[in-house]
Structure 1
C-alpha cells in the first residue's frame, strides 16, 4: 500500500535513494520479541555494511546486495549492530534489516574473497553504476543513515556515558541518566534559481572538474526552508531571491541529510560571489544549460549526474518550462 501511495502522489519517488517503499512499522518495532522473531526467520533479508561499504555477491544477478541469514553466519557477525528497516508488503511481508560491522579496510577485500565472490562497495558508486535497483538503493540510504548515526553517537550527549541500542535501532538510551537519543537528519535546501530564461549555477570547491550545479546549504535553527533558500543564494552569489516554491526532496545519506528542493525566482542578477564558499557562480542561458545537462556543451562544462536532486531540478526547469 505504501509503495502505491508514494508512486501516485510523491514527485520525489523517481529520485535516487528515494524509492524506499518499506513499511517501517514504527509502533511494532518497539516489540523486542517480534523483531527478534523476524530477524531469525528464513524470510528475513539483510543489507550488510562493512564500515561504510555494502557487501555484494558478485555472482548474484538480481539484487546482489541483499543477503539471507546464512551470510551473517559466514561473516560471524550475528551480534553486529542490526537495524530493522521494515516490511515489504509487496513481497509477502518479507522483513528487511540493515547490519553494520567494523572491519579492517586494508584486509576487507581479501577477507571477503575467502568467502567466495564477494566485494564491498560504497553507496555513491553503487548508485552511479546503477548496480542496485531504486528500491534497494532506498533501503540502503535508510540503513546507511541510521547505521552511521550509531557509529557517531555512542555516548550520551547529556552525561557522556555509553548508551544502548533500543527500539530495533531507532533509539539509544542512557542507563546512567535515562536520556533518550534518536537518529538525526540534517535538512539542507537545494535550489534552482532562474531569471527569465537564465539559470544560476555554481561550483563549490569540492565539486568534480568542469561541473556546475545548483546552489545549496544547510537550514539554520529558527529558519524556514524558504528563508534558507534566500539566505544561502545571497550569501554565496549575492543574488536576491523573491518567490520560492517547493519542488521535491531526496534523502542524501552522506552521512544523513535530507535535500529539500526548491525553485526560486531571482530579483537581481549582479553577482557578488563569496569565494570562501564558492569557486565560481555564473548565469547560463537555457540553451547552454541544456547542453551541459546532456554533456554536449562546447565549453566542456557539465551538470551533476542523475543520482542527485540537483540534476532533477536542472532537468525539470530546462526541459519542462
Structure 2
C-alpha cells in the first residue's frame, strides 16, 4: 500500500543510532545533555500529561526516576541530536496494585514526584491520539521492557542474565550467551469475496465486536501459507491469492502484525470453537453502517489497530 506507514506505530523516521548502544562514554555524555529526555513507564503504562494525554518527556534528573531500578533504554536521537531514553519505575508500587485489565483498564496512577495532571495510562487508550514520533518511541520502549521482564534468565544455562547494549541485549554472566529482543510475526488478513469481507470475534471481546482474522506464523512457514492455514483452521474458508499490504508493531507484548489481503475461493463458514467464537461475511454497506455507528449488532475493530486501518482502506478502495 502506498500509504502503509500511516498506521499507528508505523514509524516516524527516528534515528535509532544503534552504533552508540555499546559506546559507554558516548552514552554517558548523551545522558548529561540538557536536552536529554526520557519516556517513563510503570507496569506497561506510560506517563502522560494534559487533556490530550501526551506522552511526558522527563529530564533525566527528575525525582521520579529514583524508582527506576535498571539503567534506561536508549531509544535514539531526535532532530538536532537530542537523545531520548526510557525508564521503567519498577520500585514504585503505584499506591496499590492496579487491576490487570489490558486495554479495558481505564484506571490512572499518579506518582508522588510528579505534579499537575501527569499520570500513567494504558498505552492502547492512546492509539488514535499519538503522534508518529511518540507512537514509535512508546511502542519501542514498551516492547523492550516487556522483553526484559519475561527473559530474565539465560535460555542456555538458566542463570540470571543482565541488560546490555543500552537495553537492546541481555548477556548471561555465567556462560556468556547473548540474548536479543524477540518479535513474534503475526499475520492479520483482510479476506474478501466480491463485495464482502470475512470478520470474526474471539471469546471475551465486547459484545458485537468483530475484526479481521489473525494468527501467529509458524516455524518454516511463509506469510502466504500462514494466511491460508489460519483462515482455514478458524472458518473452513479457503484462500487463494495472497498479497502483503502493511505492517504494525504491536507491543502487547511483542508482535509484528503483518497485514495481508487474501481472496476467498468459497463462502461457506464452519467455525472452529477452539479458535474463535463466531465469523461472518460483512458487506461494504454493512461495514460502512457499522463504522458510522448505525449498526448496534456490529462493532468493527478499534481505531488505531491495523485491522481498523485495513478495513477502512478497503471501504475507501485504497488497498493499492
Q: Is TM (by shorter chain) over 0.5?
A: yes
1:68 to 46, 51, 59: 59
Q: 1:85 aligns with which of 75, 80, 99?
A: 75
Distance in 1, matches of 2:143 and 2:3, equals: 22
State the Cα deviation string for residues 106-150 of structure 1 (Å, max 9, x = none): 44877614542231111111225x2x4232022100000011101
- Tell me by how many angstroms 1:161 deviates: 0.5
Counterpart position of 1:97: 85
SS of the aligned residue for 1:56 comes to strand
Q: Distance in 2 between matches of 1:267 and 1:64?
A: 45
Aligned to 1:126: 126
Cα separation, 1, equivalents of 2:159 and 2:42? 26
Aligned-residue CA RMSD in angstroms? Answer: 2.1
Superposed CA offset, 1:142-180 (max 9, x none) = 000011101111110110111111111111011111100
Give, in whole Å, the separation in 2 of the partners of 1:291 and 1:94. Answer: 46
Q: 8 Å contact 1:56–1:119 — kept in the other structure?
A: yes
Contact 2:240–2:262 (CA<8 Å) still a contact in 1?
Answer: yes
Structure 2 Cα separation of the partners of residues 304 and 78 of structure 1: 35
Deviation at 1:227, TM superposition (A): 0.4
Match of 1:30, SS?
Answer: coil
Aligned to 1:112: 111
Q: What is the correspondence of 1:132-281 to structure 2 with a 5 Å cutoff? A: 132-281=130-279
**Partners of 2:235 and 2:6 in 1: how far apart?**
30
In the alignment, structure 2 segments of 5+ residues that lack a partner are 98-107
Q: Which segment is superposed worse, 9-18 or 95-104?
A: 9-18
Compared with structure 1, are the counterparts of its residues 283 and 184 closer, same or farther at alpha carbon in structure 2 (3 Å cutoff)?
same
Find the residue that maps to 1:281 and give its secondary structure.
Answer: strand
2:127 match: secondary structure: helix
Q: CA deviation at 1:29?
A: 1.6
Residue 54 of structure 1: CA displacement? 1.2
Task: Specify whether residues 214 and 111 from structure 1 end up closer, same or farther in structure 2 by C-alpha distance, changes over 3 A only.
Answer: closer
Give the aligned length: 306
